[in-house]
Amino acid sequence: MKPATVKRIAVFCGSAAGSDNLFRQACTDLAGILYTRGVGIVYGGGNIGLMGILADEMLKLGGEVIGVIPQKLVDIEVAHTNLTFMHIVPGMHERKALMAKLSDAFLVLPGGIGTMEEFFEMYTWLQLGYHNKPVALLNVHGFYDSLIRFLEHMVHEGFLKRDRFEDLLIDDELSNLIGRIIRS
């Protein structure tokens, strides 16, 4: 059963800001929408890239921001220092497990290979029944078009069940996607 109330959303996004200002704007808009709805964020705890933009905007608004960061990243000084709460964990496995525990849903914004790894793990856990929380892709300016086509190809080739693909919430309009997450 899906959570009755979404109090916190884990957001996976880039430790780089990307080449399109629309990626940065999506983070700013997301913070505003979540703050207005009283929803906090759980994220990777960084102060750089889209992660830093999202955290800074949410904090500026007065919203809850919980970071989960491996010690190795703290050691190289990419940890945000002004969060509502910061969890420092031994490694990436513990990071994802704690983010999953602290969150009622998962939202993926543009990002690199780390973002993809986090997305696929949460999506796999949904498929295997380790959680039953919404997993969503915000397709900012077509960023995930190729990934969506690939997932559809997996369905066509018999490696991903159609209903598992349809469990993934995909939208290019942020407010619609947040509404779908909260209603899931």
Topology given in CATH for the domain delimited by 10-183: Rossmann fold (3.40.50)
* Domain spans of the chain, in order of start: 10-183
Residue 4's pLDDT is what? 52
- pTM recorded for the entire structure: 0.95
pLDDT tens digits along 3-12: 458 999 999 9
**Mean pLDDT for the chain?**
96
pLDDT of residue 104: 97
User: How many angstroms separate the CA atoms of 74 and 155, rounded?
Assistant: 40
| Ordered strands of the 105-108 beta sheet | 85-89, 65-70, 40-43, 8-12, 105-108, 135-138, 169-171
89 Cβ contact partners less than 8 Å away, ≥ 6 residues apart: 68, 69, 70, 71, 95, 98
For residue range 139-164, what is the model confidence (pLDDT) as tens digits? 999 999 999 999 999 999 999 999 99
